[in-house]
Amino acid sequence: MAAPCIFCEIITGKLPGDIVFQNETVTAFRDRYPRAPIHILIVPNKHLESINSVTAADKELMGDLILIARKLATDLGISETGYRLVVNTGPDSGQSVQHLHIHLLGGNKMPLMGG
Ligand code: 5GP
Ligand code: ZN
């Protein structure tokens, strides 16, 4: 049997998670190992492994993930100072949890990407 997905378990409450937002389709919780003063993961409630698993049927869901990320950035006071949304996909990106997630990072000045 496949190992349980930690993000599915946080979404369903089987594992503790610092959830900051949840509705019928999307959950957002604080990253356990934050890389910025604000580091939140925004995830679909249904298990999708990565962007590679997304289909046209998920268009609305993908839009919701972005809108919720923006709402959280606003609520947490970083919409004007700025923030970064990151979606790692596959081995070369370093994706370590195989449940699609958007990182919302902010609260300090970040190095330029690729710099
Ligand atoms: P990835 O490297 O796949 O893009 O991001 C996975 C993220 O999940 C990492 O930033 C890591 O710190 C976070 N993470 C791993 N395990 C847990 C966990 O059990 N709980 C929470 N809240 N975050 C986790
Ligand atoms: Zn999952």
Residue 75 located in a structural domain = yes
pLDDT tens, 62-81? 999 999 999 999 999 999 99
Q: Which atom of ligand 1 is nearest to the CA of 94?
A: 2
* CA 39 centroid distance within chain: 9
101 is catalytic: yes
CATH for 26: 3.30.428.10
Indicate which ligand has the atom closest to the C-alpha of 97.
1
pLDDT per position as a tens digit, 104-115: 999 999 999 876
Structural domain total, the chain: 1
**Nearest ligand, measured from the Cα of 10:** 1
* 1 located within any domain: no
Report the 10 Å Cβ neighbour count for 53.
13
pTM of the model: 0.97
